[in-house]
Chain A
């Protein structure tokens, strides 16, 4: 059974600082997704990581995937208040099979960026 662990679960940062959120998962998965959720809102897709070694960057966020280590990271560079939100990682359940497309979500990392 695929289990996902994100850490930290809560992160309070100062503006301008850097930090990394970690996403570990327990069994083989060939791709992983990162989502952002603002309070009371739905999920917004941030990154789709499709293979080992994949790295994607958008603004101050950079995501990477190491399928051998079963680890994905979301790195925040020079944080700004607008990045305050909850971030979820979600590896896909299995490489193939009847549940293609099913994602397993971590509990999320609640990020608060303070001036």
Chain B
């Protein structure tokens, strides 16, 4: 089955620790995205990558970092510099041609105390 997986589903961390969220897709999509969702809000773009070994900042990249060493994988690191890291994190991917429909993973809920 093709799809996007994110792990873990829930993640708890102490303030000051870096944490890495996993996102893997087997849809052969070129582009991948990370979004953050806060309660009662829409999605805000953190980082995106259109090809391997290249990525761009989205609207709220401060305190986050990413890598894109493989087409299938786009991990997100939430660093200790992120002021309010507690949120629901969603990964998505899309083809670069045609419809550009974004498919979403199940999400990771990060809680930092």
A positions within 8 Å CB-CB of B: 4, 31, 33, 35, 41-45, 48, 50, 88, 90, 92, 98-103, 105-108, 110
Interface size on B, residues (CB 8 A): 25
Q: Whose C-beta in chain B lies nearest to the C-beta of A50?
A: B99
Residues of A within 8 A of B96 (CB): 100-101
Q: Whose C-beta in chain A lies nearest to the C-beta of B91?
A: A42
CA distance A48 to B41 in the complex (A): 21
On whether the beta carbons of B48 and A102 are closer than 8 Å, the reply is yes
On whether the beta carbons of B105 and A101 are closer than 8 Å, the reply is no
Residues of A within 8 A of B45 (CB): 102
B8 to chain A, nearest CB (A): 14
Given known A42-B107, A43-B90, contact A108–B42 (CB-CB < 8 A) = yes
Answer yes or no: B74 CB below 8 A from chain A CBs.
no
On whether the beta carbons of A42 and B99 are closer than 8 Å, the reply is no
- What are 11 A-to-B residue pairs whose CB atoms are below 8 Å? A4-B42, A33-B101, A41-B106, A42-B104, A43-B90, A45-B103, A50-B99, A100-B50, A100-B96, A101-B96, A101-B102
B54 to chain A, nearest CB (A): 11
Known: A45-B103, A101-B48. 10 other contacts (CB 8 A): A4-B42, A41-B106, A42-B107, A43-B43, A98-B56, A99-B48, A100-B96, A100-B100, A102-B33, A108-B42
A-B contact count (CB 8 A): 56
Given known A33-B102, A42-B107, A43-B90, contact A105–B48 (CB-CB < 8 A) = no
On whether the beta carbons of A48 and B107 are closer than 8 Å, the reply is no
Given known A42-B90, A42-B107, A43-B90, contact A103–B102 (CB-CB < 8 A) = yes
Answer yes or no: B110 CB below 8 A from chain A CBs.
no
Residues of A within 8 A of B101 (CB): 33, 45, 48
On whether the beta carbons of B100 and A31 are closer than 8 Å, the reply is yes
On whether the beta carbons of B100 and A107 are closer than 8 Å, the reply is no
